[in-house]
Amino acid sequence: MKVLVPVKRVLDYNVKPRVKADGTGVDLANVKMSMNPFDEIAVEEAIRLKDRAGVTEIVVVSIGEQKSQETLRTALAMGADRAILVVSESKVEPLGVAKILAKIVEEEKPDLVILGKQAIDDDNNQTGQMLAGLLNWGQGTFASKVEIADGKAVVTREVDGGSETESLTLPAIITTDLRLNEPRYASLPNIMKAKSKPMASKTPADFGVDVTPRLTTLKVVEPAKRTAGIKVADVDALVGKLKEMGVTK
Amino acid sequence: MKTLVWVEHDGKTVKDATLSAVTAAGQIGEVHLLVAGHGVDAVAAEAAKIAGVGKVHVADDAAYDHALAENVAPLVVALMADHDAFVAPATTTAKNIAPRVAAMLDVMQISEILSVESADTFTRPIYAGNAIATVQSSDAKKVITVRGTAFAKAATEGGAGTIEAVASTGDAGLSTFAGAEIAKSERPELTSAKIIVSGGRALASSEQFHALIDPLADKLGAGVGASRAAVDAGYAPNDYQVGQTGKIVAPEVYVAVGISGAIQHLAGMKDSKVIVAINKDEDAPIFQVADIGLVGDLFKIVPELTSKL
């Protein structure tokens, strides 16, 4: 069984984003970038399925600037077998990403595509569902548990009131939620080994996909700041404040 | 402009999230609703009474029973021939369906809008709510999800929608529903609660979480939330989680107990009207957004607070 795992290079989740003064976006110059945390979980799950469900090959793919190859090397060091880098210096929206991934799926014919449920930069939560729609495959989104057996993927999903289980006919799309697994760290020998694993380089044009954005960002601003609050000395003062606000009688 | 709004329901009643989506849709154009499910006459009747609603399309088929995206998306796509925008609340159900619809229509979705600037321009949060982007869509049809806390709820009375049955698009045969574990709670639902008491890792165990947080929440008639750390440690179930990857809430009062205030958590609650923080670390980032802060040991403070309320 072959698994395809798309990964995205994003601003590290510990870094507080700074909005550019000219309102064109978030400042990404000289800040730490990392693999999107949900994608780390996707890579980890694919690796674990090697032992559990007879996965024979894991192909990782990233679409974005040249530097996304660092993100792919990280995935290779975790345990992926080979990588495809689709270089685009301009931003590619989820719809464009899904279209490129659909073409890669046609070529690679994986049995399963595992994506993160959302990227922590654009917070869109769209790409996996879009890819499933384009391919007309089943989708198991927000997965907290995955079992593969008899040509089916049984996916437990995190939903608003609790959890839900769905059975999908393979091939299928899965998107990962935080509780699916705890991603491993790449060891130094594996980081060294990852340097010699194959990485193909492509462009959106190679796939005949038009990635012209459909959404134009007119401006990006900081959210309204909260006014500074007060600190109270003890519980009685807190109760007093709460009563003042009418929270309690 | 005609909008088609996804009605979020549990088979019996219309969920609150729908009402915020109706308000957003009303700012774009004429509001039509879609009730998809099995045996949903009562839901459709309730939906027709929502203020400002025109037509209510009802698709009744066992294939729609659990709102599987594979079955529902083709239904929405078929109805979109007569509509200019698909508007859905940003619930897990609709977040699962809407992007699949968008791809089938070959349009980009606009996720979790905070405001409607015009029929093609919207604001939405990015980077865990640390930036607000204004985006303009060039697509002929719009697919939009709505952040519930950013729009007032439409009135549940006064509407006179006309109910119309729509033909089923059937079962796509790609997926089957195998079961659900829905947490039972007597408390107000987190996303619509007026007051929320939320616990973090400092509670140190599931027993202490329930022993301290639950009585305080009960005293205040509040919903109970949790930080990711508390959920991961098993102190609280995962549907309690407030944050970028959990639920987005904006209650009148949010009481954060033993929560440091990581940006991922703040993303889910910083639009609350009043934030109260109880934490022993006076440098905890939560105090930068808290209106009222109390520095001290929560194991002493919380029981005392509960008894004095």
Q: What are the pLDDT digits (tens) for B80-114?
A: 999 999 999 999 999 999 999 999 999 999 999 99
Chain A contact for B186 (CB, 8 A cutoff): no
Q: B26, B224, B250, B291: which is closest to B125 by C-alpha?
A: B250
Tell me what pLDDT residue B141 has. 98
What is the predicted ipTM?
0.96
Cα–Cα distance for residue pair A238/A234, rounded to 1 Å: 6
Q: Which two tokens stand for residue B106?
A: 């070959």
Q: Are residues B138 and B77 in the same domain?
A: yes
Facing residue for B126 by CB, picked from A121, A161, A234: A121
Q: Where would I find the H helices in chain A?
A: 37-53, 68-78, 94-108, 127-135, 188-194, 235-244
* Contact criterion met (CB < 8 Å) for B134 and A158: no
Which of A121, A229, A239 has its CB closest to that of B291?
A229
Q: What is the pLDDT of residues B157-169, one digit of tens each?
A: 999 999 999 999 9
pLDDT (0 to 100) of residue A180:
96
Residue B60: CATH number of its domain: 3.40.50.620
Contact A229 B292 (CB under 8 A): yes
Are the Cβ atoms of B275 and A229 closer than 8 angstroms? yes
Rg (CA), chain A: 21
b/e per residue A173-192 (b: at least 16 CB within 10 A): bbbbbbbbbebeebeeeeee
Do B153 and B245 lie in a common domain?
A: no
Is A45 a residue whose pLDDT tops 60? yes
Q: Give the C-alpha separation, B248 to B114, whole Å.
A: 12
* Best to test chain B binding among A36, A103, A226, A243 (most B CBs inside 10 Å): A226
Q: How far is CA B160 from the centre of its chain?
A: 26
Q: At what angle do helices B69-79 and B92-105 cross, to 10 degrees?
A: 50
Does B113 share its domain with B199?
Answer: no
Q: How confident is the model at residue B192 (pLDDT cuts 50, 70, 90)?
A: confident
**Contact residues, chain A, for B73 at CB < 8 Å:** 133
Is residue B172 included in any domain, yes or no? Answer: no
Number of folded domains in chain B? 2
CA A65 to chain centre: 16
Which domain, by its residues, includes B208? 195-308
For the segment B159-181, the average pLDDT, to the nearest whole number, is: 95
Domain match, B10 and B151 both: yes
- Model-level pTM greater than 0.80? yes
Cβ contact (<8 Å) for B135 and A218? yes
Which pLDDT score, from 0 to 100, does residue B114 have?
A: 97
Residue B40 covered by a domain: yes
Which of A11, A142, A167 comes nearest B178 by C-beta?
A167
Please write the tens of the pLDDT for every residue from A59-82: 999 999 999 999 999 999 999 999
Find residue A165's DSSP bridge partners: A156, B179
Mutate one of A20, A28, A139 to test the B interface: name it (highest B CB count within 10 A). Answer: A139
Same domain as B18, residue B139? yes
A176: Cβ contacts below 8 Å, ≥ 6 apart: A38, A39, A41, A42, A45, A114, A115, A116, A117, A143
The runs of H, that is alpha helices, within B57-150 are 69-79, 92-105
- CA neighbor of B37 nearest in space, from B58, B14, B56, B57: B58
